[in-house]
A and B are shown apart, each in its own frame.
Chain A
Amino acid sequence: MLVFTLRRLNLFIFTFIMLTALSFSLSFLFPGDALTNLTGQINASPEQRALLAEEYQYNSHIIKQYWAYLTHLFDGDFGISIASHLPISSEIMNLLPATIELSVVALFIAMAIGIPIGFLAAINHEKIPDQAILFVSMLGYSIPIFWLGLLAILIFSIQLGWLPSAGRISLVYEIKHITGIQFFDILLSDSEYKWQAFQNATLHIIMPASVVAIAPMTIFIRLARTSMLEVLDSSYITAAKAKGLTFWQIIYRHAIRNSLVNVIRHVGLQFANLVTLAMVTEVIFSWPGIGRWLIESIFQRDYTAIQGGLLALSSFIFIVHILTDFIYAALNPLARDRKHGA
């Protein structure tokens, strides 16, 4: 297990180096002055510029420049936004938790609904439920998410009036920013309207999270279905049948865990897809997350923001990747002591 952890950590470090190298090179690839792109100091006086050039080792070798850039990153200094002149790091700290919240809730919805439905389809293989589930999942997968979002707003907010159409929480509730994750902040706050605020926040997240969850859910349905079919076909299930276990005992004790192992493996991959979907959805539902901010920054040619947002989002996705790897290892004893290249 220690070797496994070290290997994952190693992978993380190298990916991080690659990512920072990419984001560093972006400042040269973007139009304009590299130092300005890197720091976001657009109206700096000559003295300030000289100071910045000194700080970022702008006149020395490129490796030294990169090292200086890395040191700044580790100090939490991502430069300032070209558009708003606010430090990028504080912007990210404000916005990333909202995206994390949205995507984690969406992932949870997608898994909690998609995986059991997929198992159900596999258990009823080539019968009517299976066909119906496959048909619906195909339909869900092919619906464009922005259209689905608008449709959901039209139906549930405007016509039925059940759910709010925009934002994270009603402006009535004043919640202090502590962790950035709305639900934790509400629970930590000492407002007497805590529970109302909690309810309100829940109402706000239902629609965007469900819209984000639809496409990954259909993928989870199919992943769970194939992996369950594979497991049900394996010889240890035949052996378990011969042992005299009933069908549902076999499903609960052997089939579910083994097929979950295969599904969990793909969660990390799907998560990147899900975050991309969340970025689009944030725009539609005015969710104050990093995705919306990043898209706005792209429109405003805010190069520092693009670099910082890219770095933050990719690291977030990568951390989730590694976490799912650990969950996979916890579920699958075969993965724990796998040798190199195997």
Chain B
Amino acid sequence: MNLLDIRNLSIVMLSGNKKIVAVDRVSLVMKEGELRGLVGESGSGKSLLAQAIIGVLDEKWIVDADRFHWRGNDLMRLSIAERKKIISKDIAMIFQEPMSCLDPTTTIGEQLEEAVDDKQLTGFFWQKKKQRKLAAITLLHKVGIKKHTECTRSYPHQLTEALCQRVMIAMALARRPILLIADEPTAAMESTNQGQIFRLLASLNQLKNMSVLLISHDLENMAHWTKRITVMYSGQFVEAGTTEQIFTTPFHPYTKALVESTSHASLTLEPKSKLSALPGSIPILQHLPIGCRLGPRCPRAQQACVNAPKAKNYHGHIVSCHYSLKDTY
């Protein structure tokens, strides 16, 4: 059974009388215990997608989907309150810039304690308070923070970004989630700290069988940590497959360009030769091309590309392109 099954999810913003489709019919299927990567340039709508899944988008965004199943439950049929209940119980999220995601006027300890679910506690309220404190300390230990007294007493601005991200992960773990969405958890962090955070996420994935949806623009790190990758471009679904498939036999011209532009690929390049990249840049939301949004930049674009392509499935390797590179391999 699939853990999360999203079919054709669109996120629309109405500005004036114009409809801006920020995320255009994206599908995402996740299995239980999977560590899945979601890759795309900044502005490709991956954070929007994550926030739509967890339901924290502002009212100005309108979310619509053909199918939204969570562990076999059709969430579209439930009321908003019921949906929110299920999602906040089972799905947790960590954000980029963790320091700004923690309340600056409340101590870490208090914020951790309020994240602890009431159902895990027993007894009267004075006993619960003690249990909450203990639970918070255990959570800190789980994410590898040993000096728990100092940490619970401090305010977010007194900790480093990496420590704040650990605290955010601890908070996410408090509800014992089945799926953890990590939205660029290591943006603006040094590489040693990045490694620590990724290792922590990977170990949580393996030891606790917690599924992780890792969102990032950094393809190389993703290759190292994830088993399967979904690629997005400008709010559209591009390609999904195992990490190996994506890296060795990319079907979509965009994925190919993305893989070729990493320094990993450049190891095979001649010295001083040019690193290949697509011409142009990602379109802004106000001026989106019709059809396949890669069209104007795509080296293989033809007339058919003014219509958005349908996703085609080749044994689990899904691609959304009229002229895929499948036959070139």
Q: Write the residues of chain A forming the contact surface with B, with a CB cutoff of 8 angstroms.
A: 234-236, 238-245, 249, 253-254, 257-258, 261, 331-334
Contacts and interface: CB of A to CB of B under 8 A. Distances in A.
A235 B56 CA distance: 11
B95 A257 contact: no
A254 B110 CA distance: 11
A123 to B, nearest CB: 13
A258 B168 CA distance: 19
A333 B88 CA distance: 30
B104 A333 contact: yes
B101 A235 contact: yes
Interface in B57-112: 88-89, 92-93, 95, 97, 100-106
A332 B105 CA distance: 6
B300 interface: no
A146 B37 CA distance: 67
Nearest to B115: A243
Interface of B: 51, 54, 56, 88-89, 92-93, 95, 97, 100-106, 114-115, 155, 157, 168, 171-172, 174-175
B100 A242 contact: no
Nearest to B54: A242
Contacts of B54: 242
Contacts of B92: 242-243
Given A239-B95, A245-B114, 15 more contacts: A234-B100, A236-B101, A238-B51, A240-B103, A241-B56, A242-B95, A243-B175, A244-B175, A258-B104, A258-B105, A261-B105, A332-B104, A332-B105, A333-B155, A334-B105
16 contacts: A234-B100, A235-B97, A238-B101, A239-B95, A239-B101, A242-B88, A242-B95, A243-B171, A245-B114, A253-B114, A254-B103, A254-B106, A261-B105, A332-B104, A333-B157, A334-B104
A236 B114 contact: no
Given A243-B115, A243-B171, A331-B105, A236 B157 contact: no
Contacts of A334: 104-105, 155, 157
Given A235-B101, A236-B100, A243-B171, A257 B106 contact: yes
B70 to A, nearest CB: 15
Contacts of B102: 236, 239
Contact of B104 (A236, A243, A253): A236
Nearest to A249: B114
Contact of B103 (A242, A244, A258, A331): A258
A242 B157 CA distance: 21
